[in-house]
Amino acid sequence: MRVLVVDGSSSSDESVKAICHMLEDVLTVRNVPHETVHLDERRIVPCKRCGSCWVETPGLCVEGDDSNELNRSWMYADMVVLLTRMTYGCYSSRIKDLLDKRIGSSVPYMSIKKDSVCHGPRYERNPSILSIAVCDELNHSESETFKMLAKQIGGTINSYNSKSMIIWSGQRADDLRPMIDSAVMAMKVRA
């Protein structure tokens, strides 16, 4: 299993950075090959919805930012972990910008998938997604919104499997490590 960890926090967000380090430690101890990308160190231009990645340069953004490199890493991974500060039940703006750039991994044609209509996959193999949101205070409504959003994103970008996890920044590290380990190792990935 190969894992891509995408840290969508700001450089000053110590809580999310600590979770990111803990996640990297868990993967290292388990001998899981992984790559960590800190989006605050990358240039991701917001998607202009020009459609070039669908038709002119299939799967590639024409903007010349770091999204093509990140999308390549995404497609080589068996699992992608999206690590974000939860704000009003949503992903960080950095994660949102990257997710918007994933539209090139689908085809411009629509298909019916379970109970929704979405774009079909461009590629046969898509990784599983584990979305981990960190919050300073637990809010049931925001947590439910995030879980629903993570599930919808997983379906929209044709992930093999999609799960979410909410972490309260005040939780003790001794309690978090086994939770993170369990969440990562329980993910179904395509062989």
Q: How many CB atoms lie within 10 A of CB 89?
A: 18
- What is the rounded distance in angstroms from the CA atom of residue 32 to the CA atom of residue 43? 27
**Long-range CB contact pairs, 142-145, < 8 A, 24+:** 142/86, 142/88, 142/89, 143/86, 143/89, 144/89, 145/88, 145/89, 145/90
* Structure confidence at residue 191 (pLDDT): 66
Query: What domains sit in the chain, N to C, each tagged with a CATH number?
Result: 3-181 (3.40.50.360)
The mean pLDDT of 89-104, rounded to a whole number, is 92
| Tokens matching residue 130 | 């584990």
* Structure confidence at residue 51 (pLDDT): 87
Q: Each residue of 149-173: pLDDT tens digit?
A: 999 888 878 788 899 999 998 888 8
